Amino acid sequence: MDDWFPLWLSVRVAFGATVIAGGAGIGFAYVLAKGRFRGRGLLEALVTLPIVLPPTVLGYYLLTNLGVNSPVGRAWEGLVGEPLVFTPTAAVIAASVSALPFVVRTARAAIEGVDGRLEAAARVAGHPEWRVAALVTLPVAARGLTAGVALGFARALGDFGATVMVAGNIPGRTQTMPIAVYDAVQAGDGSTARTGSLLLVGVAVVVLLAVTQLSARER
Amino acid sequence: MTTAVAVDATITTGPFTVEARFEAGPGITALFGPSGAGKSVTLAAIAGLLRPAAGWVAIDGEVVADTTRAVHVPTQQRRLGMVFQHAALLTHRSPLDNVGLAVRSGPSASRRQEARRWLDRVHAGHLAASRTATLSGGEQQRVALARALAGGPRLLLLDEPFSALDQPTRRNLRHLVRDLVDEQELAALVVTHDLADITAFADHVVLYEPGRTLGTHAVRRGHADDVAALLGLAP
C-alpha cells in the first residue's frame, strides 16, 4: 500500500466522530436512563435507527438533509463558503450518526447499572441533580461509558455506506480506508485491499479487547 | 416529646404498599419488624426519594410532603443525613472526599477541615486518605456516618446500618451512634430487624407488620424484656 491518505483520513474522521458521538451519545444515554417523559420511546427508537437501517438509506437521508438544496446545507454554505456534502466534514457527520447508537446503548446500560443508593446519598447531602450526575453517576459508570465510546470509535472508523453517500469517494479528499478497500478490490489491487483490511481488523480487535477488559473489571 | 418527624402516609413502590403512621422525637427510634414490612420504604419517603401515594410527612414541624396539597420538598432541601446498609460510599473518591462532599457550605479548604473533624469524631481519621474500596465494612460505615453528620442534618436516617457487620463491630458502632445522637441532640430513625439493636440503644420503637405500622412504644435501654413484652414474647 503506497497511499496512506485513506488511513490518515479515516483516523481523523473517526476521532472527530468519536468526540461528537461520544458527547451526544452519553447525553442521550443519560436522558434515556433517567428521564421519564413523553416521547422517550420514540427518542430511543430514533437514536437506535442507524443500527438497523441499511447504511445507504441512512446516507440517503443525510444527503437529502445536508445537501446543497437543504436548509442545513444552505446555511453551511453561507457560513463556510463551500457545500457541506462531499467533504471530510460530511464524512465526520456520517460516521458520528453511525456510531451514535453504539455509544448510547452501552452508556445507557452503564448508567442504569449505577447503584441508586450512591445517587440517593448525594441527593440527601444536598447536591442538585446535575452535581449528582457529575460527582456520582458518570464517574461510577466511567468504565461502561469508555467502553461505549470505544465501540463508537470502532464503528466510526469502519463506516462505509453512509460515508460514501454523503462524502463520496474522492481520492485524496474524502476517500476513507473502508472505501479505499472497496476501490482496491474493484480495481484488482489485491495488495492494497489486503493491507487496508488487515489494518482495520487490527484496530477493531484491539478496541474490542479493550471493551471486554473494561466490562470485565467492572465487577 | 417534641416531634422531629411525623408520618401518616400510604407509600407504594411497585406492587408493594405500606401504611406508615408514627411520630418520633429526639433520640433513637427504631423501626422494627420483619424484612419486607416496609421500613426502608418509609425511610425513603421521609427522605423524599419516594413520593407517598397518599398522606403527609413532616420533619421538625415542616410539612415536606403532602399529597392533598401537592407539596413535595426535594430530597436536597430536607437537610437529612442518611446511612445505608452497605455504606454506599463512592469508591473512586477517598473517604475524606466522601465526607467532604456532604459538607454543605464554605470554601473547599474549610469543607475539608470539617470533613476531617467528622472523620476524627467517628474514629476514622486515620482512614482519610485510604482507598475507599479497601476499607472493612465497619470502617466504611464509620465513614458513611461521618458523611451523614457532616451536612448538619436535622434528622438522621439509618437503613439497616449494621446488618452487614459482625457482632463486635455492631456493638462498637451502636455505641458510636448513641454517643453522636446524644452529643448532637439529634433525632435518628434506625431501620432494623435485629432485636439487639433495640435493647442496646433505642429510646422508642415503632413496630411494623407486613404492610403497616402497629404503634410506637418507649423502651428502656438494656431491658430486653421490654421489647419481648411488646412482641408478646414475654414469659
Grade residue A219 by pLDDT with cuts at 50, 70 and 90. very low
ipTM: 0.91
Instruction: Using alpha carbons, list the distances in angstroms from residue B59 to B65, B212, B220.
Output: 9, 20, 25
Write out the residues of chain A at the interface with chain B, using a CB-CB cutoff of 8 A.
115, 117-118, 120-128, 135-136, 139-140, 142
Give the range of the structural domain holding residue A163, as residue numbers without chain letter.
5-216
Candidates B192, B174, B20, B163; CA nearest to B85 is B163
Amino acid making up residue B180: L
Q: What is the CATH number of the domain that holds A127?
A: 1.10.3720.10
Rounded to the nearest integer, the mean pLDDT of chain A is 93
Q: Model-level pTM?
A: 0.89
Grade residue A3 by pLDDT with cuts at 50, 70 and 90. confident
Per the structure, the count of domains in chain A is 1
Residue of B nearest to A143 (CA): B92
Contact B75 A139 (CB under 8 A): no
As a whole number of angstroms, the distance between CA B198 and CA B221 comes to: 8
- Tens of pLDDT along A182-204? 999 999 999 999 999 999 999 88
Query: CA dihedral defined by B211, B216, B221, B223, rounded to 10 degrees?
Result: -80
Phi first, then psi: what are they for B155, rounded to 5°? -155, 135
Grade residue B234 by pLDDT with cuts at 50, 70 and 90. very low
As a whole number of angstroms, the distance between CA B24 and CA B46 comes to: 12
Percent of chain B with pLDDT over 70: 98
Residue of A nearest to B77 (CA): A126
Which among B49, B92, B151 is the nearest to A125, CB-wise?
B151
Grade residue B108 by pLDDT with cuts at 50, 70 and 90. confident
Candidates B149, B130, B155, B150; CA nearest to B140 is B130
The answer, yes or no, to whether residue B230 has pLDDT greater than 90, is no
- Tens of pLDDT along A42-86? 999 999 999 999 999 999 999 999 999 999 999 999 999 999 999
The answer, yes or no, to whether residue B58 has pLDDT greater than 60, is yes
